[in-house]
Each structure stands twice: as structure tokens, then as C-alpha cells.
Amino acid sequence: MPSIVSRKAKPLTPEQMYEAVRQRDASAAGLFFLAVTTTGIFCRPGCPAKTPHRENCEFFPTAAAAMQAGYRACMRCRPLLGIGQVPTWASQLAQRLESQPTTQLTAADARAAGIHPATAARYFKKHMGATFQALSRAGRIGVALATVRNGAGMQSAASRAGFESESGFRKAVGELFGSTPALAASQNIQPLAARWLPTPLGPMLAVASDDGICLLEFIDRRMLATNINTLRTRLKRPIATAPSNHLDTLDRQLTEYFTGKRSQFNLPLHIAGTPFQESVWAQLLKIPAGQVRSYAQIAKAIGRPTAVRAVARANGDNRLAILIPCHRVIGSDGTLTGYGGGLDRKQRLLDIEGYQPVAGRGQVLLATAR
């Protein structure tokens, strides 16, 4: 069967990446990494392991991004090793990354492996998309975030992942952004401003441009690293911790929302998505607090009644939790369905907004405010 990669000059879509995985197309190695939500493992295309179901797959541009999301490297296809013949010292460092994800690799570790740290950094950057120090940091962040997802507190998660303190973990999460205010200034680039925001449902990460809020995610969401990278790529700007009037306003309005003093937000949003995604998100913004809609209703509202699954994907791709209320979309039978922040949070958000199911037959269970 012809290679998926050889026939496509443009970047692969998730569906094309999954087809490459299904065909075990080794020519796609290095273009993306597959992660399996049910196992917590990530692989390179061509891995001999059993092909997972599409709904259990996530795709990442680099191994570091997969590790930041909390995935562990597959021990069969060894995605942390470069393609082709790998130097012994590189294999040793990669093995450390695989077996000791909470241990910070340093320049001294490279010297112990018999290689100059700068040489090791260049090799890993070229063949694996990130230096061995960056991969080590990504692994520790991923372990901490996965620990939080499993119910541990932030301080406990930071400690288990090898960070000296919760503030050290926060700093490391900030390094996901790939920039600092000083670096951005030296390059004459205005960075997107980021801030860590505590909430009653767990800490959130917010990012804003001059035009408005462009990301608001719970810090333990598995797709956080992917969404940060997508945002940075779409807007072609680095992200750094920096002051922002928009973030000040968001912080204040979120506090009012969680204390029952606000049901609607009135701050600018910088929505960066595909035309289809933006059409779905525009419909989500029309759902009043205390009410819900089904995926089918959203599909019909945008003039694509058969695109229910695509609507569900766009709903899941929303990078502005709470602000673009994807939590107000439920199944046609009235049941709660998947939510990136977790179903418990989805229920809590609907409770905060006064959602009360109303029995209905043959249609979505709409809701009225208390």
C-alpha cells in the first residue's frame, strides 16, 4: 500500500496520522508521535504494538510534547531514540529518560556518558526535537501533571516528580512556553502573556494577547501542552509570564463566577481556530448559563446536521474553558459526555450555573436556571 506520507505534501491531519499508524507506516517516523490515552504510552509511527482505537489516540509533534502531557515512552519502539543507528552514549541517556522520568538529567550526566554536554544537546535536538535536558524537564512536568490528574495535591505532585517545591513546578510549567519576557524583548517580539490562576476546581493556566484571552485550561488537562504548542504556532508568538490587563480582568471575573456573583463574562476573547471550529465555538457562546445543548443541536445550528462527530471534536479542541462554555454541551439522551477537565468538573460547572435537567422525550434535556 502506498505511503500516506509520500502522497501528502501538506502537514498530516489527525485522520491521516491515524491511517499512517494503522498501516504501520515507518516513513512517518519523526513527523509525529502517537499517544494512547488508555495506556498512558506514546509511540513512533510504525510501532509493532496493537493499533489502538481512534478515540483513544492523541498526536504530538515532538516527544517532549507527549511527555509534557504525561505520557511515557513505549519500550517496544523506543520513541526517545533517533531513527537509524544510535550512538551508545545517546542510547544510555535515552534509557535514563525512559526509566527515571522524575530524575533531572544534567550536563554532568552527559559527561558521565563520555560526551560533551553541548554535543549531546545538539544531537537530541536534531534527532528528537528537544535537548536531553528539555526532554528530562518535560518528563518531570508530565509525571507531576499525571499525578495531579490522579487526585494528588499540587505540592505532593511536585514532590513526587522531583521538584523541590510547588513554585518550582509552576516555574517548570512556565518553561512550556518556550520563552521569557527578556528573551522575547531581545528578539523584538511581543509575547503572549501567561498566568497561573487558582480556582475552587483546581489551578488554571491563562494566556492573553493584546486582543484578548486566547487560552484558559485546567492545569491537569492532558491536552495542555498540545494546546500551548498549537496556540504558539497559530499566532506565531512566544508565550511568557508577563503582566496583562486582560488577565487581571479574567482573574477578577473568574472569582466572581465561582462565588456566584457572575454568570456571564464580558472580556475580549482572541479565538484562534479553523473556520469550522470557530463556527462551533460561536454557537457555544450563544448557550445561556443554566441551559445546555446537544452536539446534534450544535451541528444543526451551524448548517451541518450530519457533522455531529466533527462538532464533538471541535468542542474538545476548545482552548477557552468556561469562557467558551463547552461544558454546556451534553449527549442527546441528557447524559454528561466527555469533558477535557473531567466529568466531575463539568457537573460542578453546571451546578454553579444553576442547571436543572427537565424530563423530555425524543429530544435533548434542556435546562432552566434555578
**Partners of 330 in beta bridges:** 294
Residue entry with cell 553541548: 118
Is 43 in the active site?
yes
The answer to whether 298 and 280 are in contact (CB under 8 A) is yes
Task: Label residue 196 exposed, middle or buried (CB < 10 Å: 0-12, 13-18, 19+).
Answer: middle
Task: Label residue 50 exposed, middle or buried (CB < 10 Å: 0-12, 13-18, 19+).
Answer: exposed
What are the Cα distances from residue 60, in Å, to 15, 35, 66, 281? 13, 8, 6, 23
Is 326 in the active site?
yes
* 15-21, long-range: CB < 8 A, 24+ apart: 17/45, 17/59, 18/54, 18/57, 18/59, 20/45, 21/45, 21/47, 21/51, 21/57
Degrees to nearest 5, angle at CA 182 with 180 and 183: 65
Check residue 210 and report its DSSP letter.
Answer: T
Instruction: Kindly write down the DSSP assignment for every residue of 133-198, as one continuous string.
Output: HHHHHHHHHHHHHHHHHTT--HHHHHHHTT-SSHHHHHHHHHGGG---HHHHHHTT--PEEEEEE-
Residue 162: closest CA among 106, 218, 122: 106
The answer to whether 339 and 326 are in contact (CB under 8 A) is yes
What are the Cα distances from residue 53, in Å, to 34, 39, 153, 206, 311? 12, 12, 32, 32, 19
The answer to whether 46 and 65 are in contact (CB under 8 A) is no
Q: Which of 74, 77, 214, 326 is catalytic?
A: 326
**Partners of 367 in beta bridges:** 357
Q: Which of 43, 74, 77, 214 is catalytic?
A: 43
The C-alpha cell that represents 8 in the structure block: 501528502
Residues noted as catalytic = 43, 326
